[in-house]
Amino acid sequence: MERFDLVVIGDGAAGDCAVRPAGECLNYGCVPSKTLYQSAEVYHQMRRAGEFGVRASGVELDFPGVIARAQYVIETIRGDNPWGGVRADGITAFRSTATFLGPKQLQADGETVEADQIIISTGTKAGIPPVPGLAEAALLTNESIFKLGLLPGRLAVIGAGPIGAEMAQIFQRFGSQVMLLEMLPQVVPTEDEEISNALERILLGEGVHVYTAVRINEVRRNEDGSRTLQVTYGGHDLPITVDEVLVAAGRRPPISTSTPPAWRRHVAGSRWMSTSARRSRTSGRRGM
């Protein structure tokens, strides 16, 4: 058994604060979303070039080129030997899932590891709302949208938080017809009403169909591969048919089916990020 002063579970942004970018931010989050945003911004501005007295003809979007650039940026940041720096710093890296055997003991890479202190930085995954048919409708999440092969003609985005609102604007600028669906009465609901209203005006102005206070009752995959969302909006039941559905309706802990039910929501963390096990800490108030 190997003994360490500190074990950090998870190599994402939070884990790096304790040891070195990886995880969601690099692979499925900040980095690819910002590269897509930049491509959308360049395309958007080039199509408006005439307004600025600039002649730009034949401007076309090369969607596979956009996706390839995002993957190139990820690979460039990751580098040829992502674990080299860690090892050079004297850190032992285990490239495997860590499982708790006891409060201070873990299993990783087939080895048993014991540590004085453990930091749980295992991040989050997209949460799938319990809408009948949604999980079976072959939906997109932040783990698949940055690898899309084809630009969807019609895209439904479920959830108008920061991720959903950003993706809605990006894909509308690329040329998809985007329907942004939010169950609460405003977009980016955690922001002030003034900010939400301003953002909603911008999205509507760019052509996004925004549905707030909407209820999604059911999602169905059609024979031609399209999906139909049955929604209740403004007191009416109506179908919305799209080519792809992106779910951006909040984040959940990356639990597995073997996780005891009582632990599935989150690792209980205090305001000091400690957990019920002495010497284990989370990288958030509610470690996920």
Query: Using CB under 6 A as the criterion, which residues of the chain lie in contact with ligand FAD when the complex forms?
Result: 9-15, 22-25, 28-30, 33-34, 97-98, 121-124, 142, 163, 254, 283
**DSSP state for residue 58 in the 8-state scheme:** S
Count of beta carbons in the 10 Å neighbourhood of residue 281: 22
Q: Burial, 26: exposed, middle or buried (Cβ in 10 Å; 0-12, 13-18, 19+)?
A: buried
HSE of 140, CA atoms in CB hemisphere, 13 A: 26
Of 57 and 256, the one with the shorter C-beta distance to ligand FAD is 256
Of 111 and 237, the one with the shorter C-beta distance to ligand FAD is 111
**DSSP state for residue 88 in the 8-state scheme:** H
Strands (E), the chain: 2-9, 99-102, 105-108, 111-120, 125-126, 154-158, 177-181, 209-211, 215-221, 227-233, 236-242, 244-247, 251-252, 280-282
Count of beta carbons in the 10 Å neighbourhood of residue 34: 14
SS3 156: strand
Of 108 and 134, the one with the shorter C-beta distance to ligand FAD is 108
CB of 149 to ligand FAD, least distance (A): 19
CB of 6 to ligand FAD, least distance (A): 15
> Alpha-carbon distance 175 to 7, whole Å?
46
CB of 51 to ligand FAD, least distance (A): 28
CB of 10 to ligand FAD, least distance (A): 3
CB of 182 to ligand FAD, least distance (A): 17
Of 91 and 221, the one with the shorter C-beta distance to ligand FAD is 91
Of 19 and 228, the one with the shorter C-beta distance to ligand FAD is 19
Of 115 and 231, the one with the shorter C-beta distance to ligand FAD is 115
Of 33 and 196, the one with the shorter C-beta distance to ligand FAD is 33
Contact 98, 108 (CB under 8 A): yes
Of 61 and 255, the one with the shorter C-beta distance to ligand FAD is 255
CB of 79 to ligand FAD, least distance (A): 16
> Alpha-carbon distance 135 to 249, whole Å?
13
CB of 163 to ligand FAD, least distance (A): 5
> Alpha-carbon distance 208 to 192, whole Å?
21
CB of 287 to ligand FAD, least distance (A): 9
Residue 193: partners with Cβ closer than 8 Å, 6 or more residues away: 186
* Strand pairing report for 244-247 and 236-242: unpaired
